[in-house]
């Protein structure tokens, strides 16, 4: 996962460097992987969570389309 990326602080702009760092960490999925490895989860539970998330996404999209159609 560690591809050797680094963040360069330009002109003493620490806030900009922190912003770029957060963006790179988010894109790499480092925080999510850390959370996933925090505790073991049975594969059946992982699949159940994925099904539940998919169902909620589908329902959200249906509600959104219903609003777009003006019902």
> Do 49 and 15 have their domain in common?
no
CA 5 – CA 20 distance, rounded (Å) = 11
Based on the fold, state whether residues 14 and 48 are members of the same structural domain: no
Same domain assignment for residues 17 and 28: yes
Q: CA–CA separation, 56 vs 58, rounded Å?
A: 5
What is the tens place of the pLDDT at every residue in 39-50?
A: 999 999 999 999
Range of the domain at 24: 1-39
34 shares a domain with 45: no
19 and 30 belong to one structural domain: yes
CA 32 to centroid of chain Cα atoms:
7
Query: Are residues 35 and 2 both part of a single domain?
Result: yes
Tally of domains in the chain:
2
Evaluate if residue 4 carries a pLDDT over 80. Answer: no
pLDDT tens column, 5-36: 788 888 888 999 999 999 999 998 888 888 88
Q: Against a cut of 0.85, is the pTM above it?
A: no
């Amino acid at each position: 996962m560690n591809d050797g990326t680094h963040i360069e602080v330009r002109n003493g702009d620490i806030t900009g460097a922190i912003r770029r760092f957060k963006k790179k960490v988010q894109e790499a999925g480092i925080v999510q992987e850390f959370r996933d490895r925090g505790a073991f989860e049975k594969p059946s539970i992982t699949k159940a969570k994925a099904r539940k998330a998919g169902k909620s996404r589908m329902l959200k999209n249906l509600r959104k389309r219903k609003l777009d159609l003006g019902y």
